[in-house]
Amino acid sequence: MFNFFSSTNIFLLIQKIIKFINSIFFLILVIGLTFALVLSPPDYIQGDSVRIMYVHVPSAWLGLACFSFITFLSILNFIFKIKNCYFINKSIAPIGLLFTCLAVVTGSLWGHPTWGTWWAWDARLTSMLVLMLFYVFYILVFKIIKEEELIIKISSIVAIIGSINLPIIKYSVEWWSTLHQPPSIKITGSSTIHSSMLLPLLVMLFVFMLYAALIFLMKYKTEIIRIKKKNIKRI
C-alpha cells in the first residue's frame, strides 16, 4: 500500500496524468470560452460585463482553495512530519498566488463599469489583498530561508496565521456592508444564479482546475527530479 506512494510510482502516475490533461485541455477550454463569451446571456443589470465573472469567480475560488489546502497540509506536516506535504505546498503556493492576483485584477476590471471605481477599501477586496500578501510571504519563506526544517516551521506558521483570513473573506460580504455583492452560489440553500450562467461558470471552473492541476503536477515532477538528482550524486 505505502509502496504505491513512493516517489517513483507518483512520478510515473504524474507523467500519465499530464499527458491526459494535455490531451483534453484545449477542447474543454474551447467549450468553456464558447459558453462564457457567446452562449451565456448578458445580465439584466450589468449587461455583458457579467462575462468577467467566468474568469473572476473561478480564480477567486481556486485562490482560496489553494490556501485552504496549504493550511491543511501545513498542519499535517507540523504534527506528523510528512515530507511530501512540504513539496506539495511548495508546488501549490505559486498557483494560489497567480489565481489570487487574477481575482483581484479581474475584480477591479469588473468593478469599474459596475461600481464606477477600480478599487475600494471594502472588506472583501481588502481581505483578498491580505490573502495575496500571505501568499507572497509564504513563497518568500521558501526563497529566502535555506534550511529545510526552518522553512517547514516558518511556512506552517505563516499558513496557519493566514488561514484566519479565509473565513473573513468568505463571510465579509455578510458581516459588513460592502460594495461586493453577496454570494450567488450557495452549497447549502438555494442559489440565486440562473442555470444559463451557472453552467458556463462550472465549465470555466473545470478548465481552471485542470490548468491548476497541470501546473501543480509539472512543479511537483520538477521537485521529484531535483531529489533524484541529489540521490544520483551519491552514487
Partner 1 sequence: MITEFISMNGYGLYVWLSFSIVFISCGIVYYKTRKTLKKYERDFLVELESLSIEDKKLALKTSKVAQQILATNSKIS
Q: How far is the CB of 218 from partner 1 (least distance, A)?
A: 5
Residue 7 and residue 223: Cα distance in Å, rounded? 10
Cell of 210: 485542470
Among 5, 30, 48, 161, binds partner 1 (CB under 8 A): 48
Residue 75 CB, nearest approach to partner 1 (Å):
27
| Interaction residues for partner 1, span 8-37 (CB under 8 A) | 8, 11-12, 15, 37
Q: Cell triple for residue 67?
A: 490556501
Q: Which three cell numbers stand for residue 149?
A: 526544517
198 neighbors 185 (Cβ within 8 angstroms): yes
Distance of alpha carbon 64 from alpha carbon 96, whole angstroms: 7
Q: How long a stretch of residues is the chain?
A: 235
Work out whether 180 is an interface residue with partner 1 (CB under 8 A).
no
Quick note: the x/- pattern for partner 1 over 80-119, rule CB under 8 A, is --------------xx--x--xx--xx--xx-xx------
Please work out, in degrees rounded to the nearest 5, the angle formed at the alpha carbon of residue 140 by the alpha carbons of 135 and 143. 135
- Residues in contact with partner 1 by the rule CB under 8 A: 7-8, 11-12, 15, 37-38, 42, 47-49, 51-52, 55-56, 59, 94-95, 98, 101-102, 105-106, 109-110, 112-113, 211, 214-215, 218-219, 221-222, 224-226, 228-229, 231-233, 235
